[in-house]
Amino acid sequence: MNLEERIQQSETHIFKAVFPNTTNHYGTLFGGTAMQLMDEVAFITATRFCRQRVVTVSSDRIDFTQPIPEGTFVELVGRVSSIGNTSLKVHVEIYIEEMYDDKREKAVSGVFTFVAIDQNKKPISIV
């Protein structure tokens, strides 16, 4: 399988419902909860790409462009965006989807960097 096929095969989509227990006093998803979900999707994407142990080493700019209201669905999409020798970056986007309407819009985007590690927690090649 070539590199582009591996990137396509590792793309990850997860859907969640936004319930009151994940929202703040404004009735919108906590930013920290959104970041946790993004890191999880990024981890799954990175692992599916290289099929090795990976750890998050950084989260680059995370842009919150729309509040995510209670009573909506969110789709998280993770895609490998760049590959180094021992590290890779995963771009994650969160889309808001109305439950009872076909309205959909991007709410959050960010980039997470992972390093592949061996059993001794030392960086190893991912390619």
- How do residues 10-42 score in pLDDT, each as one tens digit? 999 999 999 999 999 999 999 999 999 999 999
Q: In Å, how far from its chain's centre is CA 35?
A: 8
pLDDT of residue 66: 97
What backbone torsions phi and psi does residue 30 show, to the nearest 5 degrees? -60, 140
Quick one: pLDDT at residue 56? 98
Contact 104, 45 (CB under 8 A): no
Integer Cα distance of 74 and 121 in angstroms? 34
Look up the pTM and report it. Answer: 0.95
Report which residue type is found at 74. V
Q: List, in sequence order, every beta strand (DSSP E) within 10-85.
A: 12-17, 54-64, 72-83
Q: How many CB atoms lie within 10 A of CB 118?
A: 10
Contacts of 44 (CB under 8 A, 6+ apart): 12, 14, 78
82-107 pLDDT, tens digit per residue, is 999 999 999 999 999 999 999 999 99
Strand order in the sheet with 87-98: 12-17, 72-83, 87-98, 104-116, 54-64
